[in-house]
Amino acid sequence: MEPDFQITDANRVVRGPKRALYDRQAVYQIIDNAAVAHVAIAAGGEYPLAVIPMFHARQEDAILFHGARSSRLMKTLASGIPVCISFTMVDGIVLAKSLFHHSMNYRSVVLFGTGELIEGDGERLAAMKVLSERIMPGRWDDARKPNRKELDATAVVRVCVETASAKVRIGGPLDEPEDLGLPIWSGVVPIHCRAGNPVSDEFSIGLELPDYISAFVREYNSRNAM
Amino acid sequence: MEPDFQITDANRVVRGPKRALYDRQAVYQIIDNAAVAHVAIAAGGEYPLAVIPMFHARQEDAILFHGARSSRLMKTLASGIPVCISFTMVDGIVLAKSLFHHSMNYRSVVLFGTGELIEGDGERLAAMKVLSERIMPGRWDDARKPNRKELDATAVVRVCVETASAKVRIGGPLDEPEDLGLPIWSGVVPIHCRAGNPVSDEFSIGLELPDYISAFVREYNSRNAM
């Protein structure tokens, strides 16, 4: 079992500390389920920061990203500067009797680490496979593999997780005791993401939908079911 | 009609410029539909940046946030420093015949602006109502309004939108011409968010679900239907 993240000034959850989690398993589960990562980098010019959404996958204690080798974001991530990455899933709208106690149910992670370029075809292909299998398990063995030109155009970056924390809210509203008798409906409107029926393109007429895609849709919807 | 955002170094979409949109209407529509905002602020210490997910609403050309008056994030936003905010919705997984052309369908906005504290009860209450009506239209008139103590504990911040851009990908995979004949299933797995049946808490037994909540669920699911 991996040790928990040490609580420091960087990852301490100050607001709502009872909703904070510092154990690696909880943090990694949220990262693995989040559709996208929001990556903050230092940008030059008038605005010193930029936040960019990226597709990610986790490989042990690192977050993997890929992108065009020529992109500013990939170059910045590869340069070894400290980065912050945030992952968020919204699970519901919490309607309390008082407006003050309205809230959202969510699972979120804020993570700090340092990026590095993955080099060498072997390691790069292994990382690309992790990214591909995260988006669709089984796809790597089915689709056409990257050729030399495509490999050369792609940068793959690993951000080693140095510290992180999760913040999770679940359950119903938490109203003031004196408000509990008010005749105002209170409760939760659940929000969940679903995968729809796969839509084939015009170049797949007559091709059967592979089993791993149907399995993905089923698994996605059962994981996100309420 | 509001003018488009001027393209500058801050908001220019360099990767995939054909997917970029700079018109205010497209940008604001994405902001209004996104469940959360990812806000980047400068943090002290070892890691110079932090990205935090926040609930937001738009009021004309500004993004509103609320939070505890004592929070670091609210204080930083109120201090008038430049901030970057990102909004992202994932709409599908794009499965091309080649791994290289795999992608996601998405709608995203990256926005730059400057924050300021909203002062005075009148303006603060008006902003809180915009935030409340964004999360659940009709709720403001139904729930118990903030009292003096709750008002005093809450900071409301407005980030004036100075520049922004949207990036949107829709449609099927874009494979290389020489790959189109490969017998590999290609297409899109749609992803969409749904609101589930509202779940009342134990303090609402015997209370009917208000019409505005049922209407919200219907409207939410028809807006996100595929």
If pLDDT is split at 50, 70 and 90, which confidence band does B14 have? Answer: confident
If pLDDT is split at 50, 70 and 90, which confidence band does B226 have? Answer: low
pLDDT at A31 > cutoff 90 = yes
Task: Tell me the sheet residues that pair with B53.
Answer: B38
Residue of chain B minimizing CA distance to A14: B71
As a whole number, mean pLDDT of residues A67-81 equals 90
Query: Which of A87, A110, A105 lies closest to A32, judged by CA?
Result: A87
pLDDT at residue number A41: 87
Residue of chain B minimizing CA distance to A88: B53
pLDDT, averaged across chain B: 93
Partner residue opposite B198 with nearest CB, options A38, A108, A187: A187
If pLDDT is split at 50, 70 and 90, which confidence band does B77 have? Answer: very high
pLDDT at A17 > cutoff 90 = no
Chain A residues in contact with B51 by the CB 8 A cut-off are: 38-40, 51, 84-86, 110
Radius of gyration for chain A, computed over Cα atoms and rounded to the nearest angstrom: 21
Residue of chain A minimizing CA distance to B86: A51
pLDDT at residue number A2: 62
pLDDT at residue number B2: 62
Residue of chain A minimizing CA distance to B55: A104
Give the highest mean pLDDT range of B2-6, B76-80, B118-122: B118-122
User: Which residues contact residue A71 at a Cβ distance below 8 angstroms, ignoring those fewer than 6 apart?
Assistant: A155, B14, B15
Partner residue opposite A40 with nearest CB, options B51, B187, B217: B51
Task: Tell which wins on pLDDT, A41 or B224.
Answer: A41
Subunit contact B189:A102, Cβ cutoff 8 A: no
Contact status, residue A50 vs residue A43, Cβ threshold 8 Å:
yes
| Per-residue CA distances from A192 to B58, B133, B201, B220, B221 (Å) | 23, 21, 19, 12, 11
Contact status, residue B113 vs residue B101, Cβ threshold 8 Å:
no
Tell me the C-alpha distance between B172 and B186, whole Å. Answer: 8
Please give the full DSSP string across A35-72, using - where no structure is assigned: S-EEEEEE--SSS-EEEEEE--EEETTEEEEEEETT-H
pLDDT at B188 > cutoff 60 = yes
Residue of chain B minimizing CA distance to A198: B189
Subunit contact A88:B10, Cβ cutoff 8 A: no
pLDDT at A195 > cutoff 90 = yes
Interface confidence: ipTM more than 0.85: yes
Counting residues of chain A whose pLDDT is more than 90, the rounded percentage is 81
Partner residue opposite A50 with nearest CB, options B41, B110, B197: B110
| Per-residue CA distances from A100 to A94, B52, B145, B155, B193 (Å) | 11, 21, 8, 12, 26
pLDDT at B96 > cutoff 70 = yes
Residue of chain B minimizing CA distance to A175: B203
Subunit contact A185:B210, Cβ cutoff 8 A: yes
Longest dimension (CA), chain A: 68
Partner residue opposite B143 with nearest CB, options A47, A136, A184: A184
Subunit contact B189:A181, Cβ cutoff 8 A: no
Q: Which of A53-57, A174-178, B19-23, B26-30 shows the lowest per-residue confidence on average (mean pLDDT)?
A: B19-23
In the structure encoding, which two tokens stand for residue B86, read together? 């990102």
Shortest distance between the Cα of A57 and any Cα of chain B, in A, equals: 14
If pLDDT is split at 50, 70 and 90, which confidence band does A12 have? Answer: confident
Task: Tell which wins on pLDDT, A17 or B211.
Answer: B211
Chain A residues in contact with B100 by the CB 8 A cut-off are: 144, 146-147, 150, 154
Q: What is the pLDDT of residues B124-168, one digit of tens each?
A: 999 999 999 999 999 999 999 999 999 999 999 999 999 999 999
pLDDT at B1 > cutoff 70 = no
Subunit contact B85:A51, Cβ cutoff 8 A: yes
Query: Which of A193, A153, A167, A120 lies closest to A17, judged by CA?
Result: A167
As a whole number, mean pLDDT of residues A161-185 equals 96
Query: Which of A61, A78, A56, A58 lies closest to A155, judged by CA?
Result: A78
User: Which residues contact residue B125 at a Cβ distance below 8 angstroms, ignoring those fewer than 6 apart?
Assistant: B146, B151
pLDDT at residue number A213: 98
Tell me the C-alpha distance between B27 and B37, whole Å. Answer: 13
pLDDT at residue number B133: 97
Subunit contact B99:A208, Cβ cutoff 8 A: no
Chain A residues in contact with B150 by the CB 8 A cut-off are: 98, 100
Cα torsion through B81, B86, B87, B88, rounded to 10: -170
CB pairs under 8 A between A and B: 296
3-state secondary structure of A127: helix
If pLDDT is split at 50, 70 and 90, which confidence band does B82 have? Answer: confident
As a whole number, mean pLDDT of residues A164-169 equals 95
Q: Which of A58-62, A104-108, B13-17, B36-40 shows the lowest per-residue confidence on average (mean pLDDT)?
A: B13-17
Query: Which of A53, A47, A42, A51 lies closest to A76, judged by CA?
Result: A42
As a whole number, mean pLDDT of residues B199-217 equals 97
